Structure 1
Amino acid sequence: MRILCLGDSIMQYNDFSAFPQTGWVQELARFFPETTEWLNFARNGRSTKSFIDEGRFARVMKEAEEGDFALIQFAHNDEKSADPARYTSAEKGCAFRKNLSFFVRELRSKGVKPVLLTPMARRMFENGKIKNSHGQYPQAIIETAAEENVPCIDMTALTMNLLSAEGEEKSRRFYMNFDSALYENFPEGRSDNSHLRPEGAHAFSRLAAAEIKKIAEKFPEYKELSDFCMSNCGGRFLEVSGENSEIDDEFTVFQK
């Protein structure tokens, strides 16, 4: 079984040079058999718009094969209204929803089964309560999935619930938010409440895996995906981005 991953830096594969930053699907591989192949096209800073404009989706379509599954998760960069190269509106009839529908329909035309996911919550607390920083985007994804009749995993709600249960201080360990002299790659520390460390990637992927396991109850054509999830686990990764590391500005926008 092959799983294609379309998204931004929260999903992206990270090598040793970015450690401890970890894309959450790197940990999701732990919940699948070692025979599962992961083609991770996610990349720092991409929105649905830039993913298309830069030719990354064309690359996905070139590699996609009948019988593949695809995990599609955007919003962090579509939200950036000050950046016309990436911004898309989540309003009905606007680009964000149209781009998601385009991904779904094009992938389906090649026999790929797509799954839409709402974005991971940022660690943003207000008066001790977790805050939704994603505005209308999660609902836009949920509604688009319903219109296209594809599975949707509401990771925004799931991760917000987890962060709320963990609390503001304890949940810090999930994110690239840490003191100096802890990691060689970041000797001065980091104050980033968007990107994940291994513990956060694992905690969030565990939530996703539980939902993937149930997908076939409503979408029987996804039975292989559900059956493979949490069965004979220990996956491997094929990282296909093939480019040099880039600096991502996400953490500079959403700091605590």
Structure 2
Amino acid sequence: MTHSSARKVSSRIGLCLALAALPLVSCTATMEAAPTNAAPVAVPTVYLASDSTVADYKPDRYPQSGWGSFIGCVLDGVRVDNRAVGGRSTRSFVNEDRWNSIRTSLKPGDTVLIQFAHNDANKEKAERYVAPDTAYRQYLVSFIADARATGATPILVTPVTRHNFKDGHAVADFAAYSAVMRDLAKQYDVPLVDLETASRHYIDTMGENASNSLYLHYKPGEYPAFPDGIGDDTHFSEMGARRMANLVADGLAQTDTTLASHVSADRGDLTRATAVGSKACH
């Protein structure tokens, strides 16, 4: 057995042991490797499991946008199925049967990008809150196991940064949750896109005032969706969502996955200087 094979076997065993101790998650996945003779998927699907920072929005909500609306602009030869929904945490995503809907749709060759924390950290809403080192970790372990059991590839995405500055520098609002994701990526040999670090560094380089343009900061009357104006440091404008999608693409291109080869080198749709006015690529 090679070192790589031993590491993957160890990873599967570790996941099985972790899942055996989960009272809060009903996970029917087995950790057997996907059959090597599985029929190839003509067009792989990339599923997005996340919250409002990734979700699609109807035209009447413009310019509010999620990065999930634009990541498909730079993924060639795959289909993107954005299942992200505002206000969801790992807990509510499971309890509302949203994760199970993805799990039963996954096929060999598919990928699922998993980004949660913004709502998991909300202690004021019990239906959402999960502590990082216990329930959050356990939910992510079950997601990893479920995806792998279908022959799909799970990719963990650390939570995209909020527009929160202190003493002139962007602050990591979900550091404990990001740390859990990084730890699980190492423990179970899961591809990781460290969007928290990349996005925080990105807005830090732009500066507090300039990076306002990436978020929903508008005066009264600028957009019908926000007649009274808005100062939202969590959700993205069209340009912000495009920039975040570009950072995700950067991360995906660096993973040791099949999806990495589908990331386009042409990022013009995500780095453009002016807004399109919709979630169209260009």
For normalisation by structure 1, the TM-score amounts to 0.84
Q: Which runs of 5+ in 1 are unaligned?
A: 217-221, 236-256
Deviations 1:144-201 (A, max 9, x none): 1212211111111111101110011100000012112111211211111101111111
Deviations 1:66-110 (A, max 9, x none): 21011000000000112211111112xx10000001001011101
SS of equivalent to 1:161 = helix
SS of equivalent to 2:264 = coil
Report the CA distance shift for 1:133/1:111 in structure 2 as closer, same or farther (over 3 A): same
Give the Å deviation of 1:231: 5.3
SS of equivalent to 2:159 = coil
After superposition, where does 1:210-225 map in structure 2 within 5 Å?
Answer: 210-216=250-256, 222=257, 224-225=258-259
Q: Select which of 108, 113, 120 maps to 2:160.
A: 120
1:174 maps to 214
State whether structure 2 residue 86 is matched by structure 1 residue 52.
Answer: no
State the distance in 2 between where 1:8 and 1:212 align: 19
State the distance in 2 between where 1:97 and 1:17 align: 36
Q: CA RMSD of the aligned region, Å?
A: 1.6
After superposition, where does 1:34-183 map in structure 2 within 5 Å?
Answer: 35-91=77-133, 94-183=134-223
Letter in 2 for 1:229: V
Report the CA distance shift for 1:174/1:61 in structure 2 as closer, same or farther (over 3 A): same
User: Number of residues paired by the alignment?
Assistant: 226
Letter in 2 for 1:201: A
2:68 maps to 25
Give the Å deviation of 1:128: 1.7
1:3 maps to 46
Deviations 1:220-252 (A, max 9, x none): xx1x311110158899xxxxxxxxxxxxxxxxx
Report the CA distance shift for 1:199/1:23 in structure 2 as closer, same or farther (over 3 A): same
For normalisation by structure 2, the TM-score amounts to 0.77
SS of equivalent to 2:70 = helix
State the distance in 1 between where 2:266 and 2:234 align: 31
Deviations 1:104-134 (A, max 9, x none): 1011101110100100110011122211111
Q: Is the 8 A contact 1:27 1:198 kept in 2?
A: no
Give the Å deviation of 1:8: 0.5
State the distance in 2 between where 1:191 and 1:25 align: 22
State the distance in 2 between where 1:61 and 1:131 align: 34
State whether structure 2 residue 264 is matched by structure 1 residue 230.
Answer: yes
State the distance in 2 between where 1:100 and 1:106 align: 10
State the distance in 1 between where 2:129 and 2:246 align: 30
Give the % identical residues: 27
The 4+ residue runs of structure 1 with deviation greater than 4 A are 231-235
Give the Å deviation of 1:36: 2.2
State the distance in 2 between where 1:86 and 1:19 align: 26
Q: Is the 8 A contact 1:51 1:57 kept in 2?
A: yes
Q: Is the 8 A contact 2:194 2:251 kept in 1?
A: no
Between the two structures, name the one with larger relative contact order (CA 8 Å, sep ≥ 6). Answer: 1
Q: Which runs of 5+ in 2 are unaligned?
A: 1-43, 270-282
